[in-house]
Amino acid sequence: MTNIHHLHLPAATYFFTVRVQQRGSTLLTDHIESLRYAYAKAVQEFPVTCHAMVILPDHLHAVWTEPDGGVFYTERWRRIKTRFAQAIPATSNEKGIWQRRFIEHAIRTRDDFQRAVQHCAQNPVWHGLTTVAEAWPYSSFAKGKGADQAPARRTLVSA
């Protein structure tokens, strides 16, 4: 098996993509309350600043800034995935709910941050789930909430 090496930088900002195994599934939105609970518990245990997040039927995106004291995103995602999988009804042919890996991208500049936040905002529109980003209910942009401001310069990875 290939060893995956993630970039671990305290206080850095990252863009994440996390997917379920079955493309085209509606698992995440069908069980949104279970996902919200799993997320809330994980960030209570491992606090993070979430600048933007969107949940689509079969994947999600998030922009997080890690705390000064360490880098916990791997453990945070593990707990979210595990709690969610334990909370939903299993089917007999299901080998796993989530793809084993997730994609993370270290945010390097303010433009990079803005692109990541815009990706979260516009993703439901690009997938044809809504015509207006603010209308998608499973997003940090729902009902005009918007996203946090760009993190301080020290949290962006040097180019």
- DSSP assignment of 66-133 equals --TT---HHHHHHHHHHHHHHHSPP-TT-S-SB-S--EEEE--SHHHHHHHHHHHHHHHHHTTS-SSG
Active-site residue, from 14, 39, 73, 138: 138
- The superfamily (CATH) of domain 13-155 is Transposase IS200-like (3.30.70.1290)
Residue 14 bears catalytic tag: no
Q: What is residue 71's predicted lDDT score, i.e. its pLDDT? A: 87
Angle of the 73-87 helix axis to the 32-45 helix axis, nearest 10: 140
Q: What is residue 41's predicted lDDT score, i.e. its pLDDT? A: 97
For the chain, the residue count is 159
- CA 78 to chain CA centroid, Å, is 12
Instruction: Provide block-wise average pLDDT over 10 residues at a time, the chain (159 residues).
Output: 56 95 94 97 96 98 92 94 89 68 94 97 96 95 64 52
Handedness of CA 34, 97, 70, 153 (dihedral sign): negative
Q: What is residue 27's predicted lDDT score, i.e. its pLDDT? A: 95
Domain edges within the chain: 13-155
The pTM of the full predicted model, rounded to 2 decimals, is: 0.86
- CA 3 to chain CA centroid, Å, is 22
